[in-house]
A and B are shown apart, each in its own frame.
Chain A
Amino acid sequence: DGGITQSPKYLFRKEGQNVTLSCEQNLNHDAMYWYRQDPGQGLRLIYYSQIVNDFQKGDIAEGYSVSREKKESFPLTVTSAQKNPTAFYLCASSTPDRFIRSNQPQHFGDGTRLSIL
């Protein structure tokens, strides 16, 4: 079955440590996204990528970095510069909206819960 796989499900970060969240998709989607969700809150866009080797900052990119070396993979690194990383992180993908009547939603992974030790 096609889908998005995020790993790990739970992650703990020590002070001053960088950690990387994995996101892999086999839906052949061009666009991939990373969102942060705090308890009881909506989704905030961290980074998105429309094509391999290209990505754009979202609303809250500070303290995060990404790479897009392969179409299937869009890993997110939470750096030590991100002082409040505890949150739920969701990865998503979609096809580009090349057609006016395109109805392609975003597909989401099951998320990674990141906490500080």
Chain B
Amino acid sequence: AQKITQTQPGMFVQEKEAVTLDCTYDTSDPSYGLFWYKQPSSGEMIFLIYQGSYDQQNATEGRYSLNFQKARKSANLVISASQLGDSAMYFCAMREHTGNQFYFGTGTSLTVIP
């Protein structure tokens, strides 16, 4: 079974609008961390935001927030007030406490339209 599932291969959003990128995960480990990365066309991976399995509140970092629904095993990324520079690939990842591996989804390509 896939550890991380991203079902949206491509998304479009109007500049200044908000967009939600979906991510669901699968683990039996009670302790885990969820991460979102941004990959521009230049290729580098930029860490955006983290959510721990025991965190009571949803994580926020500037225009990024994570909609964490533990019972549904979902960790959707919300980008508010989209900017042209947000156009990139976005990857959801998970790290279980029992190992040092990170599991990545297949990514969502976001295009911001002027």
**In which size bucket is the chain A interface?**
20 to 34
Q: A100 contacts B54, CB within 8 Å?
A: yes
Looking at the complex, which of B11-19, B39-47, B70-78, B80-88 is the stretch in contact with chain A?
A: B39-47
- Tell which of B54, B95, B104, B107 touches A97, judged by Cβ atoms closer than 8 Å: B95
- Tell which of A48, A97, A101, A108 touches B45, judged by Cβ atoms closer than 8 Å: A108
Q: A74 CB to closest chain B CB, in angstroms?
A: 13
Known: A103-B33, A105-B35. A42 touches B97 (CB 8 A): no
Q: Give B9's nearest chain A residue, CB to CB.
A: A40
Q: How many A-B residue pairs have CB under 8 A?
A: 59
Answer yes or no: A8 CB below 8 A from chain B CBs.
no
Looking at the complex, which of A17-25, A61-69, A78-86, A88-96 is the stretch in contact with chain B?
A: A88-96
Which residues 93-117 in A have Cβ within 8 Å of B in the complex? 94, 96-97, 100-103, 105-111, 113
Chain B residues, CB < 8 A from A77: none
Known: A101-B54, A110-B44, A111-B43. A48 touches B100 (CB 8 A): yes
Q: Which A residues contact B (CB, under 8 angstroms)?
A: 31, 33, 35, 40-43, 45, 48, 50, 58, 88, 90, 92, 94, 96-97, 100-103, 105-111, 113
**The 4 nearest A-B residue pairs measured at CB:** A108-B45, A42-B106, A105-B47, A43-B104
Q: Which B residues contact A (CB, under 8 angstroms)?
A: 31, 33, 35, 37, 42-45, 47, 50, 52, 54, 91, 93, 95, 97, 100-102, 104-107, 109
